[in-house]
């Protein structure tokens, strides 16, 4: 006969196992549970940020001369950018006036929100990471995330004070693209390579088959859709078949597919910018 | 005291793993602490808090595959096997489960990477190789290190020690030492 303690143990295992499975499934699939988990670890990610800042401060003290050089270069860049901003402001004013004359509705503006990377998975380093901005900062799902002016991903999961960014290297990140000089528009997304050791590429599909897609040509966001503005650099066209030097694959004699090498450096990220669309009064009231 | 110890271990593991992960170092602290607590306490009492911790960690990083939870499931039979056939009293002997643990972590990562295609790819092949090698080495080192550190703290708190657990277990159940 089985001992009573053993029977109780078995009953306990039977009760605990579904709880454990439920916890794991909820944490993986149910958005509020994921939000609660990220909220729970917020003090820890904040402490990690403090550790990172302290390390940076120590580095600054040790490598002061390098920092001074970098600061001088940055000052020069800022001066150049200020001139460029003035030019753009003039162009925007001109654009507004022309749109008014043509009775066109005003173009939506974009908020530029700087965010810090607070948690990153070492096992999927180039696929996704968490930033310290969320719903309360005006972010919404699908917003474009940039690093040094290049598209690096989109917001795929949003909590009150943080968000998950899925990078352009992931097949889960989809966006509308335009190939420079051809005006061909298609849909881009991370390329699910069959060879695990290959670099991450972006695969653009549904492109017109009659255009020439030359190696090295730039690819930008098309601006179709509401969450990503037009003209953000994504990458350059690369060979699909290196031996045959082919860039294009025609699918079912209907549309073309190309591979894009991302311009953004996803490896070393500390700060990123999120482009959030400025809502009109009507949208806000709705 | 046991509950407080388990909660403390879970929080410490979570913080250590988040901090190391931020700097790109893959250290499976949660799984190593789980191994320790599985042996010192019962598997059942360690299971729920550690699976919960692993789920929180996976959710924080936005993972779609619960890597840490799966790793804990692999650690369970290792802990049971080591409790039965291994030697917890000598520190250098912990290298053996350390190797198995590192192998499990490495293989699980490799398997998930291979099956999920794009998940594994990176800007440079070198980075992935370094990550895998680092993961193996960290897993190899963290298990004996966890046993040493946690035993040091447990001794001060008058809690059952990992190094003594087999003597108690074997003598208690009348089996040979």
Sign of CA dihedral A139, A144, A150, A151: positive
The arithmetic mean of pLDDT across residues B27-54, rounded, is 88
The arithmetic mean of pLDDT across residues A46-68, rounded, is 78
User: Which pLDDT band holds residue A79 (cuts at 50, 70, 90)?
Assistant: confident
Counting other chains too, the contacts that A136-141 makes at CB distance below 8 Å and 24 or more residues apart are A136/A160, A136/A161, A137/A113, A137/A161, A137/A276, A138/A111, A138/A113, A138/A276, A139/A113, A139/A163, A139/A274, A139/A276, A140/A227, A140/A276, A140/A277, A141/A227
Q: How far B163 CA sits from the closest chain A CA (Å)?
A: 25
User: In chain B, what percentage of residues exceed pLDDT 90?
Assistant: 14
- Strands A163-167 and A218-221, sheet pairing: unpaired
| Structure token digits, residue A254 | 């209907």
Residue A128 has pLDDT above 60, yes or no: yes
Tell if the CB–CB gap between B61 and A128 is shorter than 8 Å.
yes
pLDDT for the residue A72: 80
Tell if the CB–CB gap between B60 and A122 is shorter than 8 Å.
no
Q: What are phi and psi of A43, to 5 degrees?
A: -60, -35
Residue A203 has pLDDT above 70, yes or no: yes
Q: How far B126 CA sits from the closest chain A CA (Å)?
A: 10
The arithmetic mean of pLDDT across residues A215-223, rounded, is 89
B107 CB-near residues (< 8 Å, 6+ apart): none
Count H helices, E strands: chain A?
5, 13
Give pLDDT tens digits for B134-164. Answer: 888 888 888 888 888 998 998 888 888 888 8
The arithmetic mean of pLDDT across residues B16-28, rounded, is 87
The arithmetic mean of pLDDT across residues A125-143, rounded, is 88
The arithmetic mean of pLDDT across residues A139-156, rounded, is 90
More confident residue, B108 or A284: B108
pLDDT for the residue A131: 92
pLDDT for the residue B175: 47
pLDDT for the residue B117: 47
Contacts A50 to B, Cβ<8 Å: none
8 A C-beta contact, residue A143 and residue A155? yes
> Coil, strand or helix: which one is B132?
helix
Residue A1 has pLDDT above 60, yes or no: no
Nearest Cβ partner of A48 from B18, B58, B128? B18
User: In chain A, what percentage of residues exceed pLDDT 70?
Assistant: 91
pLDDT for the residue A282: 59
A125 CB-near residues (< 8 Å, 6+ apart): A266, A267, B24, B122, B127, B131
Identify any residues that bridge with A255 across adjacent strands, giving them in sequence order: A251
The arithmetic mean of pLDDT across residues A143-166, rounded, is 90
pLDDT for the residue A31: 79
Q: How far B135 CA sits from the closest chain A CA (Å)?
A: 9
Contacts A157 to B, Cβ<8 Å: 62
Residue A219 has pLDDT above 50, yes or no: yes
User: How far apart are alpha carbons A176 and A228 in whole angstroms?
Assistant: 8
User: How far apart are alpha carbons A108 and A120 in whole angstroms?
Assistant: 32
The arithmetic mean of pLDDT across residues B32-60, rounded, is 88
Give pLDDT tens digits for B84-133. Answer: 888 888 888 888 888 888 888 888 877 776 665 444 444 556 667 777 78
Give one DSSP letter per residue of A103-132, joined into a string. Answer: TPPPPPPEEEEEEEEEEE-GGGTTTEEEES
8 A C-beta contact, residue B68 and residue B31? yes
pLDDT for the residue B168: 55
User: How far apart are alpha carbons A192 and A259 in whole angstroms?
Assistant: 11
The residue to which tokens 């998930």 are assigned: B112
CA-wise closest residue to A130 among B149, B62, B70, B139: B62
pLDDT for the residue A187: 92
Tell me the pLDDT of chain A averaged across its residues: 83
CA-wise closest residue to A258 among A214, A210, A195: A214
User: How wide is the angle at C-alpha A170 spanned by C-alphas A139 and B67, nearest 5°?
Assistant: 95
Of the spans A100-104, A172-176, A192-196, which averages the highest pLDDT? A172-176
User: How far apart are alpha carbons B114 and B111 in whole angstroms?
Assistant: 5
The arithmetic mean of pLDDT across residues A48-60, rounded, is 82
Tell if the CB–CB gap between A24 and B59 is shorter than 8 Å.
no
ipTM (interface predicted TM): 0.72
- Residues found in chain B: 177
User: Which pLDDT band holds residue A154 (cuts at 50, 70, 90)?
Assistant: very high
CA-wise closest residue to A204 among A228, A231, A236: A236
3-state secondary structure A166-215: EECCCCCCEEEEEECCCCEEEEEEECCCCCCCCCCCEEEEEECCCCCCCC
8 A C-beta contact, residue A125 and residue A133? no
Candidates A10, A24, A38, A259, partner chain B, best to mutate (most B CBs within 10 A)? A24
């Amino acid at each position: 006969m089985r001992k009573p303690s053993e029977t109780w143990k078995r009953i306990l295992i039977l009760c605990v196992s579904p709880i454990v499975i439920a916890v794991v499934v909820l944490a993986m699939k149910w958005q509020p549970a994921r939000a609660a988990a990220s909220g729970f670890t917020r003090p820890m990610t904040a402490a990690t940020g403090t550790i990172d800042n302290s390390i940076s401060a120590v580095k600054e003290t040790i490598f002061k001369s390098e920092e001074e050089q970098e600061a001088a270069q940055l000052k020069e860049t800022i001066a150049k950018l200020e001139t460029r901003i003035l030019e753009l402001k003039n162009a925007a004013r001109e654009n507004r006036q022309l749109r008014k004359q043509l009775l066109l509705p005003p173009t939506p503006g974009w908020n530029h929100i700087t965010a810090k990377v607070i948690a990153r998975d070492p096992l999927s380093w180039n696929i996704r990471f968490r930033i310290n901005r969320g719903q309360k900062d005006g972010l919404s799902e699908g917003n474009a995330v940039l690093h040094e002016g290049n598209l690096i991903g989109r917001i795929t999961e949003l909590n009150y004070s943080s968000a998950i960014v899925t990078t352009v290297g992931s097949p889960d990140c989809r966006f509308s693209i335009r190939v420079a000089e051809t005006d061909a528009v298609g849909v881009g997304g991370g390329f699910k390579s069959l060879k695990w050791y290959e670099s991450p590429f972006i695969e653009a599909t549904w492109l017109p088959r009659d255009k020439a897609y030359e190696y090295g040509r730039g690819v930008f966001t098309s601006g179709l859709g509401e969450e990503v503005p037009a003209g953000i650099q994504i990458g350059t066209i690369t060979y699909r078949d290196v031996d045959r030097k082919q860039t294009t694959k025609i699918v079912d004699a209907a549309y073309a597919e190309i591979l894009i090498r991302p311009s953004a450096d996803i490896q070393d990220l500390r700060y990123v910018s999120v482009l959030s669309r400025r809502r009109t009064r009507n949208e806000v009231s709705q | 005291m046991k509950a407080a110890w388990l909660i403390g271990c879970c929080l410490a593991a979570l913080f250590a793993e988040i901090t190391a992960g931020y700097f790109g170092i893959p250290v499976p602290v949660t799984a190593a602490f789980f191994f320790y607590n599985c042996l010192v306490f019962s598997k059942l009492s360690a299971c729920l808090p550690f699976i919960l911790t692993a789920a929180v960690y996976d959710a924080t990083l936005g993972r779609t595959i619960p890597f840490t939870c799966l790793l804990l499931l692999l650690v369970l039979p290792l802990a049971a096997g080591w409790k039965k056939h291994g030697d917890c009293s000598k520190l250098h002997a912990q290298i053996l489960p350390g190797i198995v643990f590192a192998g499990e972590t490495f293989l699980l990562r490799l398997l998930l990477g291979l099956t999920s295609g794009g998940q594994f790819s990176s800007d440079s092949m070198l980075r992935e190789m370094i990550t895998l090698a680092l993961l193996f080495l960290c897993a190899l080192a963290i298990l004996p290190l966890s046993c040493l550190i946690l035993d040091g703290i447990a001794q001060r708190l008058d809690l059952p020690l990992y190094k003594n657990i087999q003597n108690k277990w074997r003598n208690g159940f009348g089996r040979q030492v």
